[in-house]
Structure 1
Amino acid sequence: MDAREVSQLLADKALSVSEYLLPNGRKNGNEWCCGSVNGEEGQSLKVHLCGSKAGVWKDFSDQDKGGDLLDLWAACRSLSFVDALKDACRWLGVEFAPKFSVASKKSFTRPSVRLGAVIEPQANGYFDRRRINGSTLKAYCVANHDREIAFPLMVDGAVYNVKYLTPRRKRDEKNRWRQESNCEPCLFGWQVITPDDDKVVITEGEIDALSVFQSGVKALSMPSGAKNLEWIEYDWERLQQFRVIYLALDNDDAGQLATMEVLQRLGEHRCKLVDWGDFKDANECLCEAGEAGVLDAIVGAEYKKPEDLKNAIEYAEILFQDFNGLLDTATGNTTPFAGMKDFKFGMDQLTVWTGYSGHGKSQLLGYCMCEMILRQKERICLFSGEMKPYKVLNRMVRQVCGKLRPDQDDLTDALNLLSGGMNINGERCTEENGNESGGLWIYDVNGAASLERMLNVFKYAKQRYNCRHFVIDSLMMLGVAESDVDRQKKIAEMLRDFKSQNNIHIHLVAHPRKPDNGDESKPPNKHDVRGSAGITDLADNVLVVWRNSEATGYGADPDAKLICQKQRDSGCQPMVNLFFDRESCQYHEREREAISMITGERVRRDFKSPYAR
C-alpha cells in the first residue's frame, strides 16, 4: 500500500477522518470546518467531504497549510510524513508496504571501506565540467578514495554499497565504474531523503541524480544502470512513502525500455515520465540549459495514462463531425431502395443478414453490392462458401445487365464494371484521367473456411485495394457447429474487432432457426438467428429478407420484404416491399422490371403495379 493509495482510502472516508482528527469541528454542507490543525472551533480550516475534491483541505488563515488527508494527519498529529502514513494505515486497518515471504533470502555483506574527504569541485575537474557544486556533493557524501571517486549507497546512515568512478584521462578512454561485490541492491541517494518527502526523481545514473538535486529536486539513482532492476525488490518498502515518483532515465532505447518496466512495477498511478527533449540525460540538460532547464523538464512531466482511457473533451472534433454528418458512419452507403433511405451501411459496422432458406437473402445482398460497386464506387471483397465464385458472378452479371442471358458485349461491360475496369459512364479508369471506380474481389474458397486466414486476406484487400465492404456468406461456412455457441460468439467478437480496427463494414449472412411446423408465412426476427445470441447482440444492424409465398410473381402483391430490425446508430427500423424480376434477379419497389445498370435503360417490364408512378 503506497502513499497515493492510502490517501485515496482516506478520501473515501473523509468525514470519519475529519471527525477523528478534528473532533471539535463542525459539518457545514459538504465541508468540515474548524479553527486550525490544533482542532479548536472555528471556520478557518475547511476539509472537502465529497466529490472529486474529497479529502482536500486548506487553512485560510495560513496559506502555506493545506493538502490531502495524509498532510492533515501529519499536521494534526505533529508527525513526519512517513510516520503519518504508517499511523493512517493502522487506523484504516491496512498494512503499510506489506512484506512477502520469499523462498530463499540472499545473504549480503556491508562494505568496510573508509572513505576520504568530500570532494571539492574546484579540486576535481570532473565535477566542475559537469557543473556539480560542492553542496550537492556534500549532501550525497561523494568522497575521494585513492585515485577514484566514491559514491556511497546509504540507508539510514549505514553504507550498503559503494560505487567507484575512475574518470578518463584521455579522450579515447572511457570512464571506468566498479562497485563492491555481494552488497544489497538499493538506490543511490537515500541519504538526502527525509521522512517528510513525498516526491522523488529516479534517474539512471549517479551524475544525473546530482544534477537533478542541484536543480532543487531530491533524486535517487539506479545502482546498476538500465538493465538491472533488482533494486525494486529491496527498496520496495522505502519507496512506499512517495506519492509521486518522477522517472527521469536516459533518453535512449535502453533507458526508455527500463522506464516502461519500472513504470509497470512501481505503478502508473504515481509515476510521472520526464522527457529530456533534445538532451540525452539530466546532466547534459544541466550543462546546456542550466538548472532552470532541468526543473522545467521535471515540472512538465506527465503521467502515462492508459491509451484506452480518455477525457470527454478529447472527442470534441469527432463529435462535431458526427453532428454535421461528416463521418463515414453518419453518411454511409445505401441500398437501391428509396423506402430504405433511413438505413445506412456505415464504416466500423457489422450487419447481419438473415432470412429463411430460399427466401433470397444472398441474392438481395448481391444486388445491393452491385449498386454499391456501380453507383457508389465502393470496393467489395466477397466470400461465398455455399456457391462457387462463377455462380455468384453469374447472378451478379444478370443483375447488372438486367438479362437472363447477356450477350458477349453485355458480359464484357458488366465484368469491366464489377472489376473496376470502367466507371459508370463507360470510361476506362486510368491513373492519368483520375477516374475512380468500385470493384469486386472474391475470396476464392469453396466450402468451410478458416476465419483467421480469411481475415488476413481481408486485411490485404483493405490495405492494397482499399476494399471497405466485406461479405461473409455464411456464418455456418466458417467451420462452426450450430450447437457451438461459444465459438459463434467468439467469431462475432473477432468480426466486431476486425471491423473496428480497419474501419470497414462487414456483411454476415446468418440463417435463422426453422419455424414451428415449417410455417414461413411470417418473417423471422433477430432473435430467431441460429446459435449464440451474441451474433445479433454484437451486430450494429440486422436486416431480414422475407419472401411472400402467397405472391404469384405476376399479381399486385409484393414478392418480398426487406426489414430492418436493428440499426444501432440511428434507431430507425425501416421496411420496404419489393417486387422481384426472375430473369434479372433484380428487386424494385414499384413494379417488376429489369433495368440495365450499364446503360440505365429499362430492359423489360413484366408487370406494372398499382403503386407505380
Structure 2
Amino acid sequence: RKPKNQKLKCASYDWKRGLGTCHNCNTTFQLHTYKRKGVSEKEYIRPGNHNATAITDKVAVWFKTRGISKKTLNECSVSEGTEYMPQTSKIEKVIKFNYLMGNDLINIKYRDGRKNFKLFKGAEKVFYNINSIIGYNSCVIVEGEMDALSFHEAGIPNVLSVPNGATLNSNNLDYLDNCIDYFDDKEKVILAVDNDEAGQALQQELIRRLGAEVCFIIDFNDCKDANEYLLKYGNKRLSELIEKAKAVPLENVTTFKDIEEEVTDFVQHGFKPGYQVGLQNFDEIFSTYTGQFITVTGIPSSGKSDFVDQMVVGYNINYKWKTAFASPENAPTYLHAHKLMRKVWQGMPTPGDINTNQWKKVAEHINDNFFFIDMERYTLESVLRKGAELVKRKGIKCLVIDPFNKIRDVDCKTEDVNRYTMEYLTKIEIFAKKFDVLVFIVAHPTKMYRDKEGKIEEPTMYNIKGGGEWYDASYHGLLVHRDYENKTVKAKVLKVKFQNLGENGAEANFKWEPKSGCFIPHNQNVSTAEAMPWE
C-alpha cells in the first residue's frame, strides 16, 4: 500500500451502498446493485460512454500548469472529447469531468477552451467524485472539479465537488438531496468552498443541511480556492489545511469573531431587508427573517390555512424555499396538494389537463418543493424530528404546524396552560434557530362573540388559549379575517418583532380568486360568477 494509506485497511466495504474502495489504488468497485434512499421518481437521461477519449499530452500539459498530474486525472475519471457548446453555438474540443456512482456514469460536465461549462442535458445532479468518500469517516467538499483534483493531488483522495458553483440568490442543493445517504456515516465533513460571498452562502447551507456538529471549515487565507492555494503554496501546505480545519462554532456559544462579518455588514448597510411573499400590499406591511416563527390566528373558516399556503408558495417562487406541512387541518392530503397545485398553476386544472406537459411540470414542482408529514398521531416531538430530517434530506426552509391544538407536546407534564404554551413555543424557537427555518403555527382563538352590529369581533393573539404567552413569545403575529359582506379577506399584522420588518396594526385586503385559490390585492377585479366543478 501507499505510505499515506498504511494506517488504513487494505479495502473498505459499504454493503448498504454495494460499493468497495481499494486503499492501494483508490479504485471503487461494485459489490451488488443498490437503490439509494429517497431516490427521486424523475426519469433522468444517462450519458453512457459519451464520445470519450483518454487525456492527450496537450491537455495533460495544460493541467500540469494548474498543478494537476496525469495520474490524478486518470484516478478521478477525467477524459476529453468533442461536444456542442451552446455558448459558442458549435462543436468544441472539451475536457470531460465524468460523474460516477459505483460503475454508473450519471452525469458529465464539459469545459471548452474558453472556460465555458455545461452539464449533460437531462442527467441527474450528483456530487463529482462521490465514490471517493466511501469507506472513510470523513470527507472534503469543494466548489469545483479543479479544487477536487487539487486535494487529490495533495494526497487527500476522499474529496468531492458540488456540480454547480454557488450563487448568492439561491443554493437549492438538489444534488445533496440525491446523495444525502452517502453522508450518514461521516463523523467529519470539511467544507473547503470558495473564499467569496457566494461560497460562504453555500457553506452556511451545507452546515444547515449536514449539521454543525460534523462540519469543519478551511480558511484559504489570501487565496480564493484550493487550486489557487495549491499553485501558490504546494501540495504539502494544501494537505496541512485539513489538519487545521476549524470546527463550526459551538451551539449556544457565540464569540465576536463568530459574528464579526455580520456586525461589519450591519454597520455598513444597516438592517437586512426581510423576506417577502410577492403580494405587493402585504409586502408593504410585513416581511420576516428565517430562524423565527409566525403565529397565524383567525376565527374558523376565515382562510388561515389557505393564506399560509399562499405565503409559502410565494416564498417558493421568490426564493425557491421548500416547505413541510404537519397539517391535520388540511387532511386528506390529496386535497391539500390540489390546493397548492392550483396556486402554482394559477388556475383550476381540468380533466383535459391531466398528463399534459403543464400538468407534469406543476406536479413535479409540487413533488420537489412541498412535503406532507402524515402521522396517525401527531406530537410536537415527532413533527420536529421529521422536520429536522427534512432539513437534511430535502433542504426545507419552512415548517407549517396547523393547527397548534392537534399537535400536542406530550413531553410537557404541566397542567398550567401558560407554562405549557411557553414550553411549546420555546421548542419551536429552538428548532427554527438551529435549522434556520421559518415556522408557521396556526392557532385557533377561543370563541368570539358578535358586536352590537352583529359582526363577529376580530380576535387578537390574546384570544388564543394561553394568549399572553403567545404575544410575548412569538416573533410575529398575523390575523386572517373574512368580511362576508364585502367578500374580502384581510391580513392584519398583530405583532412584528423588529420595526424594519413591518408595521404593527397594518392591514392588507384581498379578494379570493376561486379557480386558482390565490389571494389577489382587493383593488383587482376578480370574477366569481363561474361555479366550481364540485358545485
Bigger CA radius of gyration = 1
TM-score range, shorter chain: 0.3 to 0.5
- Taking structure 2 as the reference length, what is the TM-score of the superposition? 0.45
- What is the TM-score normalised by the length of structure 1? 0.40
